[in-house]
Amino acid sequence: MIKITMKDGAVRDAQEGITIQEFIKNFSNSLAKKALAAKLDGETRDLTAPITKDAKLEILTFEDEDGRWALRHTASHILAQAVKRLYKDANVMLAIGPAIQNGFYYDIDMEKQLTDSDLLDIEKEMKKIVKENLPLVRSEVSRADAIQMFKDKGEKYKVELIEDLPEDATISLYTQGEFVDLCAGPHVVSTGKVKALKLQSVNGAYWRGSEKNKMLQRIYGTAFEKEEDLKNYLHMLEEAAKRDHRKLGKELDLFSLHEEGPGFPFFHPNGMIIRNELINYWREVHRRYGYQEIKTPLILNRALWEQSGHWAHYKENMYFTQIDDEDYAVKPMNCPGGMLVYKSHPHSYRELPLRMCELGVVHRHELSGALHGLFRVRNFTQDDAHLFITPEQIEEEIQRTIDLFDEVYNTFHLKYTAELSTRPEDSMGSDEMWEKSTKALQNALENRGLKYIINEGDGAFYGPKIDFHLEDSIGRTWQCGTIQLDMQMPEKFDLTYVGEDGEKHRPVMLHRVVYGSIERFIGILTENYAGAFPTWLAPVQVRILPITDKHADYAYELKKKMFDANIRVEVDDRNEKTGYKIREAQVKKIPYAIVVGDQEVSSNTVNVRRYGEKDSNTMNAQDFIEKILKEIEAKEDRLG
């Protein structure tokens, strides 16, 4: 008998050599039906793998990332099998077919150029393969036998992949019906597990990502355990397409991107209104939480970046220049400048926590293929802050920082979850320092009762961090806020404060951002609100629509009153039908369109139509002004 330790710590006895699937069935048929793969001593394995010794076992379902990947990896094999069945005369050669975030793809070389219509045929054949419920059987062969087998099949890409492996490598294959593929696995037990799938697109992709190689056809798809989950996901994609901030940014005249500056966004007047309102709110919140604003230079010399560690650890993401024959770098981060501000004069323990914030413009080199609207750019404004604290203040200050985050995110009605990222391979500092820093962040999260996950090895090179993931109105998540604990930069820059004992001590440093990047946050909000910004953020808050020219004077009187009250207002006095002007105000997603005609002029009223509502109502003009001012002051959210 062998001992199997489950994830919850329970220990179960089993016969040596029992498969993982048989083992699960022995104590839970329902769990065996849900299981897709398992982790055996930390390694993800097929359910058909035998257990030959005492081991730790974690059962993976679709709720687990590795479980989803096993299912979607199997879907990619089903795709390849379907293509092979349908296009026997097209000289089909298979390249690679991995699972990816939210789906899978397969790169295929074939004589036929696939169309959307072909994808429907392939998807239909895939569903037949799912119904056949073919078992996926793993086998192992020598490298030489695998090369010969795939040569015989005419699969030159598979041969190339195998030839890159060591000569003594054992090659794993997976067979489902008549189809055999080179694969390390893992997979689900049979094709019947892939109950809901959808092919989404076909694009070109160079073999191994090199332009020197042949262009293959990459077929993208997604797969779920349940049809309902697939439908929900596809609906979310449709909603996301409607909300694309690049499309809305153009329609609402918020920003533009130009070939003259790839990755460097241009903000238009409407976009600047949103940007400035976000900054005004940011400044107001930070003043209440005891921050002092600073500004540091855009370019600093090489010696500083060597001292901070960025020259050694971040150089490939930086831009450089020379001044007076010396090397300088455009800052990719604001923290070294913040250190110099702190170090500009002595500090006492009585000043700490010292909270310094900065709206710092940073530049980072991103590959052109990675650029994406406002989400991935080469220059952006970080709403940065650097807090200098005593070791005893760490947990309290992290709690206070989370309070600030909570207030800001609730203003936008954005739910959030936390992720604790630990020490990466390329890092600075001692094991003891990292352990102490990580534990401090973990304690703060646990003492607050905030749910979090651990992201092993994804911390900054100078310290662990907490990332805050925001959930938008259609269920997508975005990483925005970050709190990073740093005991190393203060050491590198020899930062000190005079303690109660009169001696010099080393402060601890917290790096943190709330929005993350002003540009990216605007992109997120644009998609979250589908361009229908809450009134306090909307570039135009009210559009006044006089019915005829004789009502224009009243419209402009109202405009002046609203303008003087700091309401962003405009008059549409074009010689167009009122219905047309109302529809256009709706297209521009203006919060309030107010119509004025004979009745409104005679009674000093306005006919108010709120964006997204069919009905209008008439109210006293001054009452409307007071109502909208209250809405703006309260930062009411039209989604809420």
Q: Which of 382, 393, 484, 488 is flagged as catalytic?
A: 382
Domain with CATH 3.10.20.30 in the chain: 2-61
Known catalytic residue at 364: yes
CATH class given for the domain over 542-633: alpha beta
Known catalytic residue at 363: no
Fold adopted by 66-231: Threonyl-tRNA Synthetase; Chain A, domain 2 (3.30.980)
113 phi and psi angles, rounded to 5 deg: -85, 115
Of all residues in the chain, the percent with pLDDT exceeding 90 is 72
Domain with CATH 3.30.980.10 in the chain: 66-231
- pLDDT value at position 638? 64
Known catalytic residue at 465: yes
Sheet containing 170-176: order of strands: 137-142, 170-176, 179-182
CATH architecture of the domain with range 2-61: Roll (3.10)
DSSP-assigned letter for residue 1:
-
Known catalytic residue at 511: yes
DSSP calls for 477-504? EEEEEEEEEESSHHHHTT--EE-TTSSE
How confident is the model over 596-604, as a mean pLDDT? 93
Helix, strand counts (H, E) of the chain: 20, 33
Residue 121 pLDDT > 70, yes or no? yes
The tokens describing 68, both together, are: 């989803």
- pLDDT value at position 67? 95
Domain with CATH 3.30.930.10 in the chain: 255-296+332-528
Q: Kindly report, residue by residue over 545-598, the tens digit of the pLDDT.
A: 999 999 999 999 999 999 999 999 999 999 899 999 999 999 999 999 999 999
The rounded distance, in Å, linking the Cα atoms of 89 and 513 is 57
Q: Are 511 and 397 in contact (CB under 8 A)?
A: no
Largest CA distance in the chain: 95
> What would the CATH number be for the domain defined by 255-296+332-528?
3.30.930.10
Q: Kindly report, residue by residue over 375-386, the tens digit of the pLDDT.
A: 889 998 999 999
pTM: 0.79
Q: Which of 45, 68, 364, 638 is flagged as catalytic?
A: 364
Q: Which of 84, 465, 512, 589 is flagged as catalytic?
A: 465
For residue 142, which amino acid is it? S
Q: Which of 335, 376, 588, 589 is flagged as catalytic?
A: 335
Known catalytic residue at 581: no
The rounded distance, in Å, linking the Cα atoms of 507 and 528 is 39
Domain with CATH 3.40.50.800 in the chain: 542-633
635: left (phi over 0), alpha (psi -120 to 50) or beta: left
Residue 98 pLDDT > 50, yes or no? yes
Q: Kindly report, residue by residue over 307-329, the tens digit of the pLDDT.
A: 888 888 888 889 999 999 999 99
